[in-house]
């Protein structure tokens, strides 16, 4: 699973940081840092984080497998 945060929408509410502190980090008021690639063990937390975001700024997707590694 992959994370894409719409930073134009993100208001720095930090709900995502609260739910998945290993994936999201807030620097200052509005500078959100995040890890785009979600390890399996973080899936549940990331889903909760996305659901908790008050402005639905967190988009989740499954990576498209090209078969090439």
Q: Which residues are at the interface with ligand SF4 (CB under 6 A)?
A: 5, 10-16, 24, 32, 53, 55, 57-58
Distance of CA 40 to the CA centre of its chain: 14
Nearer to ligand SF4, 12 or 45 (CB): 12
> In angstroms, rounded to a whole number, what is the distance separating the alpha carbons of residues 10 and 62?
21
Alpha-carbon span 45 to 23, nearest angstrom:
9
Q: How far is the CB of 56 from ligand SF4 (least distance, A)?
A: 8
Nearest to ligand SF4 of 51, 63 (CB atom): 51
Q: Give the shortest CB-49-to-ligand SF4 separation in angstroms.
A: 7
Length of the chain: 69
């Amino acid at each position: 699973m992959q994370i894409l945060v719409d930073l134009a929408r993100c208001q720095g509410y930090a709900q995502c940081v609260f739910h998945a502190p290993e994936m999201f980090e807030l620097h200052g008021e509005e500078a959100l840092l995040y890890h785009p690639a979600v390890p399996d063990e973080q899936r549940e937390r990331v889903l909760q984080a996305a659901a908790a975001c008050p402005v639905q700024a967190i988009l989740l997707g499954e990576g498209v497998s090209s078969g090439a590694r």
